[in-house]
């Protein structure tokens, strides 16, 4: 696995632009809330650690990961510097997992291609709950933290 020897929460703050003047939108799936809340907490903590203010971090909830696309699209119509899409899809017994994962991935990719506001993909697509727990604040760190750092870096690129 890609995260086996990498902690998702590690970053060098000295290499990250100060986020105090940046405005962040975070769209969070309500499905698998134990996972998505952990991811949100990691993202929010990293943004605050890098200088963002609480009033510049706006959260919207959507029912599931598939709905992240629409939520992010609506946020792109607002005045945000970057958007983070937070979700969790855990493999089950049907092909639903494949359809949701593919749809969300392609949808978020399309938003990045078609619009100027970067949308950061923070959707865990794991085989089981333990893998998701390990990546949302567990032994592999927090993908939400990694997504927040990516958002800050993408804003820096956008503003060049």
Catalytic annotation, residues: 96
Structure tokens at 157: 């690129």
Take residue 8 and report the two structure tokens written for it: 């998702």
DSSP-derived letter for residue 62 is E
- Determine contact, residues 107/7, Cβ cutoff 8 Å: no
Tokens for 42, please give them. Answer: 């990691």
């Amino acid at each position: 696995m890609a995260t086996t020897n990498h902690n998702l929460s590690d970053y060098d703050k000295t290499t990250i632009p100060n986020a105090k003047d940046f405005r962040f939108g975070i769209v969070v799936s309500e499905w698998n809330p134990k996972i998505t809340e952990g991811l949100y907490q990691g993202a929010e903590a990293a943004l605050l650690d890098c200088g963002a203010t609480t009033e510049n971090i706006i959260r919207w909830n959507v029912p599931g990961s598939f709905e992240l696309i629409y939520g992010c699209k609506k946020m792109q119509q607002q005045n945000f510097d970057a958007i983070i899409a937070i979700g969790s899809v855990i493999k089950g017994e049907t092909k639903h997992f494949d359809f949701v994962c593919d749809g969300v991935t392609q949808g978020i990719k399309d938003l990045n291609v078609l619009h100027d506001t970067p949308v950061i993909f923070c959707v865990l697509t794991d085989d089981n709950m333990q893998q998701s727990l390990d990546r949302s604040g567990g032994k592999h760190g927090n993908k939400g933290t990694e997504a927040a750092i990516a958002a800050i870096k993408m804003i820096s690129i956008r503003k060049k």
